[in-house]
């Protein structure tokens, strides 16, 4: 393995992604100063970068399976996946800005800072989110045409995968169900049972987490069965991530989380602890992580960071 520990892999990946985001994000004078500043305020506020980590780890895993000792091939696969990793982080940050708006979740703390609309006002915060989303697709689409048609095909497949995950069948759809369940949309509030809760999270947070791993595998040239395995791994990881998020909302504190704690209960939101209790929720998250391990093993991707990332996810405190 190129890095001694998961911590080193996470650190080097975060640095790499943040440098690339800084270089790729358009700046003034091409972009008006205020919208540039507001986009960068939320983007460089210190997120975990889980999604880009997954993208690069999936690409690395596929390359490693192809040739365990060829470090240059592993690095080339991670390089090929870097635009997708950055685009997904741009979209994730847009979703956080919009989610925090008064018309949505109405929160004032995110990534340890006052939320974008608190600092810049609702209008500029909406535009910062819109700008980040458009910048993500611009970044994906402006990759120079590759002489190998197979690589250009992968780039197009990534654009379709990210758009599907971010759009109405994925994150936007999940957020709409969330608003309906919270009684903040037209019509009577939706009541979500365990299955419906899983479906809502599968769209709202799961779809982008799945796209993160799938796009890494796609850019590394994986076959369809391996892309599907990366997708299944990330679906389980995404569900565990959400269950743990719900648990942390009950047990965590704002200083560690970097966002308001106890908000789900205050807003009477349907959550895993509310439906199943804390102990059962912890067990459900652990079951998801165990299914991550089986999936990675069966796909022949055990010599990778995918399983350590899943274990880290289960233990996360923020
Ligand atoms: C506004 C269309 C639209 C969608 C918003 C992702 C989302 C949908 C809302 C986020 C609300 C939320 C707090 C969900 C819990 C899980 C989650 C996505 C937490 C934030 O992701 P992290 O923990 O954040 O990866 P960092 O800051 O580390 O990137």
Q: Give the pLDDT confidence of 266-300 residue by residue, as tens digits.
A: 777 789 999 999 999 999 999 999 999 999 999 99
Q: Is the peptide bond before 29 cis (omega within 30 degrees of 0)?
A: yes
Cα distance between residue 60 and residue 80, in whole Å: 10
Ligand 1 centre and the CA of 76: distance in Å? 30
Contact between residue 101 and residue 125 where contact means Cβ atoms under 8 Å apart = yes
- pLDDT value at residue 29: 97
Burial of 284 (0-12, 13-18, 19+ CB in 10 A): middle
Could you give the dihedral angle defined by the CA atoms of residues 103, 174, 110 and 318, in that order, rounded to the nearest 10 degrees? Answer: 150
What is the pLDDT at residue 251? 87
Is residue 202 within 8 A of residue 169, CB to CB? The reply is: no
Instruction: Point out the residues of the chain with pLDDT beneath 50.
Output: 2
Is 172 a pocket residue for ligand 1 (Cβ < 6 Å)?
yes
Per-residue confidence (pLDDT) for residue 252, from 0 to 100: 77
Q: 122 with 196: CB under 8 angstroms?
A: no
pLDDT at 188: 87
Q: If you measure from the C-alpha of residue 96 to the centroid of ligand 1, how many angstroms do you get, rounded to a whole number?
A: 5
Q: pTM higher than 0.85, yes or no? A: yes
- 6-315 carries CATH number 1.10.357.10: no
Say how many Å lie between the CA of residue 219 and the centre of ligand 1. Answer: 25
The pLDDT of residue 269 is: 79
Distance 222 CA to ligand 1 centre (A): 28
Q: Is the CB of 306 under 6 A from ligand 1?
A: no
Q: Quick: pLDDT tens for 16-65.
A: 999 999 999 999 999 999 999 999 999 999 899 999 999 999 999 999 99
Would you call 188 helix, strand, or coil by DSSP?
coil
The domain spans of the chain are 6-315
Pocket test for ligand 1, best of 50, 89, 96, 242 (most atoms within 8 A of CB): 96
């Amino acid at each position: 393995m190129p890095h001694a520990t998961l911590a080193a892999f996470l650190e080097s990946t975060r640095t790499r992604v943040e440098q690339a985001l800084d270089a790729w994000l358009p700046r003034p004078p091409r972009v008006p100063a205020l919208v540039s500043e507001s986009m960068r305020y939320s983007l460089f506020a210190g997120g975990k970068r889980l999604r880009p980590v997954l993208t690069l780890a999936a690409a690395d895993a596929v390359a490693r399976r192809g040739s365990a000792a060829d470090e240059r091939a592993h690095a080339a696969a991670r390089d090929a996946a870097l635009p997708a990793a950055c685009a997904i982080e741009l979209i994730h940050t847009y979703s956080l800005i919009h989610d925090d708006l008064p018309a949505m979740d109405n929160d004032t703390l995110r990534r340890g800072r006052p939320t974008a609309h608190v600092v810049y006002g609702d209008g500029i915060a909406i535009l910062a989110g819109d700008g980040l989303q458009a910048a993500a697709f611009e970044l994906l689409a402006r990759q120079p045409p590759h002489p190998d048609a197979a690589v250009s095909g992968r780039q197009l497949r990534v654009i379709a995968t990210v758009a599907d995950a971010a759009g109405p069948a994925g994150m936007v759809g999940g957020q709409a169900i969330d608003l309906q369940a919270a009684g903040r949309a037209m019509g009577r509030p939706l009541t979500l049972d365990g299955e419906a809760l899983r479906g809502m999270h599968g769209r709202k947070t799961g779809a982008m987490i799945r796209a993160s791993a799938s796009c890494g595998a796609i850019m590394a040239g994986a076959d369809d069965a391996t892309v599907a395995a990366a997708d299944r791994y990330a679906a389980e990881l995404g569900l565990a991530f959400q269950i743990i998020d719900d648990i942390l909302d009950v047990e965590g504190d704002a200083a560690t989380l970097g966002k308001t704690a106890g908000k789900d209960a205050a807003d009477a939101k349907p959550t895993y602890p509310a439906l199943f209790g804390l102990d059962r929720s912890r067990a459900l998250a652990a079951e998801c992580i165990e299914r991550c391990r089986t999936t990675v093993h069966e796909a022949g991707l055990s010599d990778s960071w995918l399983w350590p990332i899943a274990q880290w996810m289960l233990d996360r405190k923020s």
